[in-house]
Structure 1
């Protein structure tokens, strides 16, 4: 059976070595390199000829962080899929990582079975944040995704697309030529329609339904 090649990028040596051992024990996967930060990843691609199918990417790293490294991969090697694996669970970081091109986002305290499933999902389906998004991420962000497509008004779709950007709600109001109060009403209406509790929930729905392509 042909192995799925993985590169691990994480600056915590003990964790990265443990992760290497864990992933290497999955019969479908082969860890070809463990790197300390994004700069080492860029250097690897400039000197090596064996490229991975998936990069397991930490976020907070010296020299070049995970968001920057993921964006670099998206720009230069868009077929290589990035699965974020981090302790960071705040809304801004997750949004930035998804916008940079990550195909999934996991927290480091997940069960090994979830990691295994996520790697297979990313390889086979290209993503891991729709119906199968991990309970860990959903719970930490307070999200309950709806399972069916919801009919949205044109202005709600416009707001949803802008919510997937890094604009603040005030900036979204300016773009849509609406008052901050009206934007707040749009947000609350979508929270209610989509059973979401945070902006991440809106973004995940937009990705799931291909309303935006990040």
Structure 2
């Protein structure tokens, strides 16, 4: 069965061109093309339920931030990939915290779009390595408002998470924590399980989504 997709973008020519492109991909079909978030809600309220939404960030009525947050609250099973002409870090973080599983620039190649769709459907998220690297460099681990108790992190696991969401290598983290690389491996595997992720990139994105770190000002 094909994965159903809604495209939400106020630029009609772009939206329908994107729809034509996605329809050419195996295993995907576009079932909704909406002009803005409020338009998408009309489809949802009458029973249409796409499995994935390609969502423009900037729209005149109910923008991407508001729409993503609404979907996260009311339709958590619908996965969202944000689309934008800009890759500003604060926009990326806001969309991730609003529930977006990926963030694509509208100038990306069709192959990257296809990869993003596949990744979100199979792994649960898609963020390019370059974008994630930029994000972790502007995170401020000192500003920590996260629900640590929710994940039942130990003090050392929490300390490891702060360092893992940086450009330090695992060997450097082990040195700073004064533990063996094997112990760091244990922290990593424990956090992967508790946060339901499978990679360091996924851990960093989950940390942003849950509000562990904020952008430096």
Report the TM-score, using the length of structure 1 for normalisation: 0.67
Equivalent residue, structure 2, for 1:65? 63
Task: Provide the C-alpha distance between the structure 1 equivalents of 2:163 and 2:207, rounded to a whole number of angstroms.
Answer: 19
Task: Provide the C-alpha distance between the structure 1 equivalents of 2:106 and 2:208, rounded to a whole number of angstroms.
Answer: 27
Give the secondary structure class of the aligned counterpart of 1:95: helix
Residue 208 of structure 1 deviates from its aligned partner by 2.0
- Contact 1:10–1:36 (CA under 8 A) maintained in structure 2: yes
- Contact 1:37–1:62 (CA under 8 A) maintained in structure 2: yes
> Can you give the 5+ residue segments of structure 2 that lack an aligned partner in the other structure?
147-161, 171-198, 211-217
Task: Provide the C-alpha distance between the structure 2 equivalents of 1:35 and 1:15, rounded to a whole number of angstroms.
Answer: 12
1:20-31 pair list within 5 angstroms: 20-31=19-30
Residue 66 of structure 1 deviates from its aligned partner by 0.4
- Listed one character per residue, the Cα deviations across residues 121-155 of structure 1 (whole Å, up to 9, x for unaligned) are 101111112xxx265x45xx74689xxxxxxxxxx
- Contact 1:160–1:206 (CA under 8 A) maintained in structure 2: no
Task: Provide the C-alpha distance between the structure 1 equivalents of 2:121 and 2:167, rounded to a whole number of angstroms.
Answer: 33
- Contact 2:99–2:209 (CA under 8 A) maintained in structure 1: no
1:7-18 pair list within 5 angstroms: 7-18=6-17
- Contact 1:71–1:100 (CA under 8 A) maintained in structure 2: yes
> Can you give the 5+ residue segments of structure 1 that lack an aligned partner in the other structure?
146-156, 164-186, 196-203
* Coordinate RMSD, CA, aligned: 3.3
Residue 43 of structure 1 deviates from its aligned partner by 1.7
What count of residue pairs does the alignment treat as equivalent? 165
Report the TM-score, using the length of structure 2 for normalisation: 0.66
Structure 1 pair 50/88, CA: closer, same or farther in 2 (3 Å)?
same
- Listed one character per residue, the Cα deviations across residues 152-209 of structure 1 (whole Å, up to 9, x for unaligned) are xxxxx9637449xxxxxxxxxxxxxxxxxxxxxxx999755269xxxxxxxx968525
Structure 1 pair 144/33, CA: closer, same or farther in 2 (3 Å)?
same
Task: Provide the C-alpha distance between the structure 1 equivalents of 2:129 and 2:9, rounded to a whole number of angstroms.
Answer: 21
- Contact 2:8–2:55 (CA under 8 A) maintained in structure 1: yes
- Contact 1:57–1:66 (CA under 8 A) maintained in structure 2: yes
1:159 equivalent to 2:142? Answer yes
